[in-house]
Amino acid sequence: MIQSNISLKDYNTFGLDITASSFCVVKSKTEIINLIQNEFSKYAKKLFLGGGSNILFLKDYGGLVIKNEIKGIEIERETDEYVYLKSYSGTQWNDLVLYCVDKNLGGIENLSLIPGTVGAAPMQNIGAYGVEIKDVFESLEAIDLTTGETIIFNNNDCQFGYRESIFKNQQKNKFFIYSVTFRLNKKPVLNLNYGDIQKKLIENGCVNPTIKDVSNAIIEIRNSKLPNPKEIGNAGSFFKNPEVSIEKYSELFLLFPSMPKYDLPNGNVKIPAAWLIEQCGFKGKKYGNTGNHAKQALVIVNYGNASGIEIYNHAILVQKEVEIKFGILLSAEVNFI
Ligand code: EPU
């Protein structure tokens, strides 16, 4: 049923009280196809919403917001080594992680507690603690929004990059992601190289860690650094970590010898945007109803009454200051609507 003038406050993790002129919930593939073919909704501007965890609404939405509640997890097939799990796109990402951890299926435990839905995960190739979904992604089923036809995209078809996929670029707004199939390892191989994971496992007394131990350690690390959107509105990292040439990094290093970096296989380096932002003095500072979180400078928060434009203007200020100080233009990870 399509409803009019609905507040999206509970449907975006910034907690912005904006209004959608039309709104509906979908629970099946048939309902999606009906919306594509229905006389009223066929031509309407549409926004498919998963967890609303990577979106900044700049104003009320004049169009149809479709909340995806097509949920479920099933085993598609298995081999001696792998289980291929198909998950419907409205499933909460963390519910899938919990399912895998519970069944000792390895591959996504480092992605514990990431907010959002399974369908949004391939859109921006979600990643954390040394793992990206492209590492375990097998395929997805997408519905063509013009024809209603189901198309299969394999890993290469998705053109995954750092927080990028074909669905944010050439195929933007052309498909609805209906289900995603992941390849999970029956004999989990742990990925413990990133940051504080090893330290946290030792602290927790885990000598031979299981994927449950890893998942718990990551949950503890995330909870200690990242604000819970249920308490303070936010969308995780606001910007991507910038990639620069080694020459540019070397120039900057002479001026800022404590600047951290990660080496990339292509010879370039990635610099933590959080560090650049912190050096500009934004960390933990409040600007009206917004500002940068005290424990993670890359997270821009809504202290309660911010508008989308106020958050956006603050992000532009941060971007400008970083550019002036370091000559690096940060690009947003969050999508502006
Ligand atoms: N740092 C600072 N100041 C801060 C925070 C961090 O200087 O306030 C520096 C430190 O040098 C630290 C480095 O930044 O070692 C990296 O920090 P962190 O491990 O917290 O990760 P990040 O690079 O800021 C990325 C992802 C996160 C993901 C973490 C962990 C991006 C844009 N963000 O953040 O993903 O959880 O790594 O893997 O790549 C998200 O995409 O929304 C997200 C939260």
| pLDDT tens digit at each of 337 positions of the chain | 899 999 999 999 999 999 999 999 999 999 999 998 887 778 889 999 999 999 999 999 999 999 999 999 999 999 999 999 999 999 999 999 999 999 999 999 999 999 999 999 999 999 999 999 999 999 999 999 999 999 999 999 999 999 999 999 999 999 999 999 999 999 999 999 988 899 999 999 999 999 999 999 999 999 999 999 999 999 999 999 999 999 999 999 999 999 999 999 999 999 999 999 999 999 999 999 999 999 999 999 999 999 999 999 999 999 999 999 999 999 999 999 9
Nearest atom within ligand 1 for CA of residue 333:
32
The response to whether residue 277 sits with its C-beta less than 6 Å from ligand 1 reads no
| pLDDT for the residue numbered 42 | 80
* Polymer length of the chain: 337
| Structural domains for the chain | 3-68 (3.30.43.10), 73-185 (3.30.465.10), 233-336 (3.90.78.10)
Tokens at 104, concatenated: 């000792």
Which amino acid residue places its CA nearest to atom 7 of ligand 1? 275
Question: Is 237 noted as a catalytic residue in this protein?
Answer: yes
| pLDDT for the residue numbered 52 | 96
| pLDDT for the residue numbered 40 | 75
Residue listed under structure tokens 């992604």: 137
Task: Give whole-number Cα distances, 252 to 17, 71, 80, 194, 214, in Å.
Answer: 41, 48, 50, 24, 35
Bridge partners (DSSP) listed for residue 287: 290
The response to whether residue 274 sits with its C-beta less than 6 Å from ligand 1 reads yes
- Read out DSSP for 50-104? SS--SEE--S-EEEEEEEE----EEEEEE-SSEEEEEEETTSBHHHHHHHHHHTT
Nearest atom within ligand 1 for CA of residue 126:
41
Element containing residue 103 per DSSP (H, E): none
Closest CA to 241 of 219, 208, 201, 273: 273
- Catalytic residue, chosen from 112, 179, 215, 237, is 237
